Amino acid sequence: MSIDKREVSAIEADPIADPGLPAHQPRPTDTDEYLEKRAERQVATLFGLSTLFVILFCVSYFVFKIGDDPTEILGFGASNVALGGCLGLALLCIGVGMIQWARKLMSDHEIVEFRHPGSSSDEDRTETVAILQTGLEESGIGRRPLIRNSLLGAMGALGIVAILPLRDLGPLPGDKLNHTVWKKGMRVVQDVGGNPIKPADMEIGQLVNGEPAVFFEEKDGEPIYDGVALQVQKAKAAVVIVKMQPDDITPWPGRENWGVDGILCYSKICTHVGCPISLWEQQTHHLLCPCHQSTFDLADNGKVIFGPAARHLPQLPLALDDEGYLIATSDFTEAVGPSFWERDTIKTGE
Ligand code: FES
């Protein structure tokens, strides 16, 4: 039997014949009213459970302690576990409820849709709106107030999850950003080893990373700071101590006695966005921030000579105690670290 050319090209274009759609099979919920009602209640129960988990989320937010001595579950912060678990379960219940709704109750008639050109003509838009409306009608959301209302309740309750954490934006820090733990008479110690420093221990051109000897501070025989609180205070008060030729230093008026034998002390926290700095160029007295290359001249009051930082490095005034060790004569006289909205303008010559 011979096959002509037209038949060959038809077979090449469509080698497997389109079998068409199989006959529609109704689901149990399509034919049994009892099963339909039961599925409806299951979906509503899932949406109701979602609301319940949102309420538990809110309760957990207030009940579990966070901070220095947090409540724990299996070694994890109870607050995190409870908030994450409740939010996850609330979303899961809504998701599973929607899947069950679509599988068991929404219309499941098979349809064939041919691909249209990509442009959206007016006819297409009209058709789309009509399809959406048909979908809405077929979902039965108008006829099933139990599902509709429980879903609206669950979605509304989810909104609380977004609103409640706004409470964590407060309270405002007040005066806290303007102070560190440095105070008159507190020793400057090396950040590794915690050894106090004598001027003779340093050579010209040397830079040492330092911190306050705050771990000696006690009240009623107990340390004022320990653990995480101690580390936080030390990090905020971190300093660099540098020794230069005294003749190279040009202090602003009022800062003439802030150094000891050419030793000056500055905050280690960049005034741009707060990176720790200690890239030191002995010859030029420049301190370079590795994050965005702000450069500060430590012989000239920590002045910015390059880069995005808008403020000089805060300087800590130094003196010697009775045993000849370096001590601070006060806290910093201005806020350390990056700029913030209410930060005062500086109190000295810049
Ligand atoms: S944090 Fe130092 S330059 Fe940006």
Report the nearest atom of ligand 1 relative to the CA of 308: 3
Between the CA of 49 and the centroid of ligand 1 the distance, in Å, is: 49
HEC profile for the chain? Answer: CCCCHHHHHHHHHCCCCCCCCCCCCCCHHHHCHHHHHHHHHHHHHHHHHHHHHHHHHHHHHHHCCCCCCCCEECCEEHHHHHHHHHHHHHHHHHHHHHHHHHHHCCCCCCCCCCCCCCCCCHHHHHHHHHHHHHHHHHHCCCCCHHHHHHHHHHHHHHHHHHHHHHHHHCCCCCCHHHCCCCCCCCEEEECCCCCECCHHHCCCCCEEEEEECHHHCEECCEECCCHHHHHHHHHHCCEEEEECCHHHCCCCCCCCCCCECCEEEEECECCCCCCECCEEECCCCEEECCCCCCEEEHHHCCEEEECCCCCCCCECCEEECCCCCEEECCCCCCCCCCCCCCCCCCCCCC
Between the CA of 328 and the centroid of ligand 1 the distance, in Å, is: 26
Does 260 sit in the ligand 1 pocket, CB within 6 Å?
A: no
- Residue with tokens 């000696």, as numbered in its chain: 216
pLDDT in tens, 4-56: 666 666 666 667 777 778 888 999 999 999 999 999 999 999 999 999 999 99
Q: Which residues contact 195 (CB under 8 A, 6 or more apart)?
A: 189
Does 85 sit in the ligand 1 pocket, CB within 6 Å?
A: no
Mean of the pLDDT values across residues 325-343? 87
Report the nearest atom of ligand 1 relative to the CA of 307: 3
Task: Match domain 176-345 to its CATH number in 3.40.50.12780, 2.102.10.10, 1.10.10.10, 2.130.10.10.
Answer: 2.102.10.10
Between the CA of 177 and the centroid of ligand 1 the distance, in Å, is: 19
Nearest 5°: phi and psi at 171?
A: -75, 165
**pLDDT value at 345 more than 90:** no
**pLDDT value at 2 more than 80:** no
pLDDT computed for residue 30 by the predictor: 92
The full set of domain ranges for the chain reads 22-113+121-169, 176-345
Does 197 sit in the ligand 1 pocket, CB within 6 Å?
A: no
Between the CA of 227 and the centroid of ligand 1 the distance, in Å, is: 28
pLDDT in tens, 192-221: 888 999 999 999 999 999 999 987 777 777
Does 307 sit in the ligand 1 pocket, CB within 6 Å?
A: yes
- The model's confidence at residue 350, banded by pLDDT at 50, 70 and 90, is very low
**Model confidence, pTM:** 0.57
Q: Please report, for residues 30, 94, 97, 266, the alpha-carbon distance to residue 26 in angstroms, rounded to integers and kept in the order given.
A: 6, 26, 21, 79
Does 288 sit in the ligand 1 pocket, CB within 6 Å?
A: no
Quick one: tokens of 148? 């509709």
Between the CA of 54 and the centroid of ligand 1 the distance, in Å, is: 41
Most ligand 1 atoms within 8 A of CB, residue of 273, 286, 304, 311 to mutate:
273
Does 276 sit in the ligand 1 pocket, CB within 6 Å?
A: no
Arithmetic mean of pLDDT over the chain: 89
Report the nearest atom of ligand 1 relative to the CA of 294: 3
pLDDT in tens, 97-146: 999 999 999 988 888 877 767 778 888 899 999 999 999 888 888 889 99
Does 309 sit in the ligand 1 pocket, CB within 6 Å?
A: yes
pLDDT computed for residue 346 by the predictor: 44
Q: Strand order of the sheet with strand 188-190?
A: 188-190, 207-212, 239-243, 263-267
Q: Please report, for residues 46, 102, 225, the alpha-carbon distance to residue 230 in angstroms, rounded to integers and kept in the order given.
A: 47, 56, 5
Does 339 sit in the ligand 1 pocket, CB within 6 Å?
A: no
